[in-house]
Homo-oligomer: A and B are copies of this chain.
Amino acid sequence: MIVVMKLSANQDHINAVARRVEELGLKSHVIVGTERTVVAAIGEKRNGERETLESMASVDKVVPILAPYKVASVETKPEPTTVEIGSLKVGNGNVGVIAGPCSVESEEQILETARFVKVSGANGLRGGAFKPRTSPYSFQGMKEEGLKLLAAAREETGLSVVTEVMTPQHVELVGRYADVLQIGARNMQNYHLLQAVGEQPKPVLLKRGPSASIDEFLLAAEYILDQGNTQVMLCERGVRTFETHTRFTLPLATVPYLQERTHLPVVIDPSHGTGITSLVPSMCRAAIAAGCDGLIIEVHPNPSKAMSDGAQSLPPDLFASTMQECKKVADALGYHLADAS
């Protein structure tokens, strides 16, 4: 850490900061500049010394040197992590595609969707059984019945099932049916839930909160990793900004930025990232070109009858053509994306 003193700090203040640094078990090193003095604190850990020093009246600011996350860092594990479960392989050159409806609505709907996304080249099936909805008056999902339908769709198509878990009590139940447990954006900092999915063995798809910084995102992953589950996929699904023409703002620079810092695979959600069906295909192509490790896409056999998120779902034909274009981009750049069958 670098502790920047205020211009008004005198030698007593500087000594007090140096003393506090030593009390925290760090080594202090005073550097006198032409206008200001800084105190370097050597031996920085990741547990809150910063706040302590920042609250001293003579201190202007404290600049941490280390990233706050550790297990998620490429500095700890330089080789990329690959998440592989059943038909789905994500990371290290493999671009996994998870597709399906926002919500599981009926046996017919989920089976029909599973069949056509598989034919078009998807490796995983998404579908919400427990649905976090902004309004208590909106459809909340088919719950365990929905999980059973997802399992039936896997049975028939072989697609790995990705579905959301909303609360620690449901982790065991959802884990019984799902292949991958999804943590939704609203729950990115629901720490008891993160710990609960960290304690079970299935891979986790962790969505970035709509206003989470990258450090906060990686620290949320760190909560899961810290419990011993190393199969974590990071999902960028758009952030909340002043822009209102799209549902969220999708920053694809997250892909290379994360890949420089973490070994965990990075999945893009262009459906929530834009909220508009007609923008999804080009964002799928762009995500592949940016080097993402996976895509998660909302697809519905009949979007205008969807019980949720119809306005951002791809109908079957548009999903098929999007997959073909993605395949072209992946091939051109040497990434592996499954063929349509």
Contacts and interface: CB of A to CB of B under 8 A. Distances in A.
A76 to B, nearest CB: 10
A12 interface: no
Specify which of A53, A75, A256 lies most central, judged by the most chain B CB atoms within 10 Å of its CB: A256
Interface stretch (A87-95, A142-150, A208-216): A208-216
A7 B67 CA distance: 11
Contacts of A331: 332
B273 A54 contact: no
Nearest to A281: B256
A105 interface: no
Interface in A233-258: 239-246, 249-253, 255-257
Contact of A240 (B211, B276, B283, B333): B211
A308 B51 contact: yes
Interface in A125-169: 132-139, 166-169
A256 B278 contact: yes
Nearest to A224: B136
Contacts of A245: 213-214, 257
Chain A residues touching B, range:
35 or more
A70 B29 CA distance: 28
A289 B278 contact: no
The 6 closest A-B pairs by CB, nearest first: A55-B310, A211-B211, A289-B289, A186-B189, A167-B192, A332-B332
Interface stretch (A33-41, A108-116, A174-182, A199-207): A33-41
Interface in A255-307: 255-257, 260, 273-274, 276-279, 282-283, 285-291, 303-307
A107 interface: no
Contact of A308 (B48, B276, B305): B48
A304 B253 CA distance: 23
Given A134-B216, A241-B241, A289-B289, A55 B167 contact: no
A85 interface: no
A252 B242 CA distance: 15
Given A250-B252, A288-B289, A277 B46 contact: no
A42 interface: yes
Contact of A75 (B7, B186, B252): B7
A306 B215 CA distance: 23
Contact of A33 (B44, B55, B136, B278): B44
Nearest to A211: B211
A286 B290 contact: yes
A321 interface: no
Contacts of A70: 137
B44 A34 contact: yes
B219 A135 contact: yes
Interface in A37-64: 38, 40, 42-48, 51-56, 63
A237 to B, nearest CB: 13
A34 B20 CA distance: 19
